[in-house]
């Protein structure tokens, strides 16, 4: 698939705001992709090159990102992202989707899957794990990563909400995920260390971990062929 040629732009109105999406429609399995903090649908352009055209792919600009709405007066909590995803799926009649979330998007995907049915869940170095928020350098690391971005103030508010959140991925939340779950981590992840993968694997029944050697926090970009192969094998299984 080609990001520029094979996707159509659509807007979907949800109860949380409008989501801007790029969609490749097909008769095969449906996969919804949620990017990380500060990202847009563009982060997937290298990965989709390795996906077959028979797959229906939804690339979503999350709330407060890209071309989607930036609703004011909210607490910027992850629940808004999960609710927006629920609204997208309901509005578009997307049945039995696979949901692939990276980092911040992984947090939203896991929150959604903890209370909704999905065909499968793919978590690439998900943020939101309860233990991760207690590491003081995390705030500085996150803030430094987004200095100078166009929506830096929004990102700062999301980071503050992240650290204060009452909706982290606790053992109880993860245990409510009943869908088959694949966790993907780079063994050189400097943002969400691979040691946090144990929290996912130990609490999501039947989940499994795939480690990509030499990869950092964005394997979908640095190792797109490897990530695509893992995704497609997971769907086939």
**pLDDT digits over 65-89, tens only?**
999 999 987 889 999 999 999 999 9
Nearest to 167 by CA among 156, 176, 180, 154: 176
Residue percentage of the chain with pLDDT more than 90: 77
Beta bridge partners of 30: 56
For residues 18-36, average pLDDT: 97
In sequence order, what E strands does the chain have? 8-14, 17-24, 30-34, 56-60, 98-102, 120-124, 181-186, 208-212
At the top level of CATH, which class does the domain 8-236 belong to? alpha beta
For residues 155-163, average pLDDT: 84
For residues 128-132, average pLDDT: 76
**Would you say residue 164 has pLDDT above 80?**
no
Task: Choose between 139 and 192: higher pLDDT.
Answer: 192
Task: Choose between 43 and 150: higher pLDDT.
Answer: 43
pLDDT (0 to 100) of residue 41:
98
The owner of tokens 């990563």 is: 145
The band of 139, judged by pLDDT with boundaries at 50, 70 and 90, is low
Domain ranges of the chain: 8-236
């Amino acid at each position: 698939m080609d990001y520029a040629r094979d996707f159509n732009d659509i807007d979907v109105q949800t109860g949380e705001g409008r989501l801007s999406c790029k969609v490749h429609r097909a008769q095969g399995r449906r996969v919804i992709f949620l990017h990380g903090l500060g990202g847009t649908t563009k982060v997937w352009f290298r990965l989709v090159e390795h996906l077959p055209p028979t797959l229906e792919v939804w690339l979503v600009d999350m709330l407060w990102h890209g071309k989607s709405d930036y609703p004011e007066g909210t607490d910027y909590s992850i629940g808004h992202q999960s609710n927006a995803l629920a609204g997208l799926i309901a509005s578009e009649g997307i049945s039995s989707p696979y949901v692939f979330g990276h980092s911040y998007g992984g947090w939203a995907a896991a929150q959604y899957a903890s209370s909704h049915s999905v065909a499968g869940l793919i978590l690439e170095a998900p943020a939101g794990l309860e233990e991760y928020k207690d590491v003081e350098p995390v705030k500085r690391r996150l803030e430094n990563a987004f200095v100078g971005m166009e929506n830096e103030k929004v990102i700062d508010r999301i980071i503050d909400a992240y650290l204060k959140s009452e909706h982290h991925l606790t053992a109880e939340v993860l245990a409510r995920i009943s869908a088959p779950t694949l966790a993907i981590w780079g063994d050189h992840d400097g943002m969400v260390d691979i040691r946090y993968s144990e929290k996912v694997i130990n609490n999501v029944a039947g989940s499994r971990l795939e480690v990509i050697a030499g990869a950092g926090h964005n394997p979908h970009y640095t190792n797109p062929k490897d990530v695509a192969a893992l995704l497609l094998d997971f769907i086939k299984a």
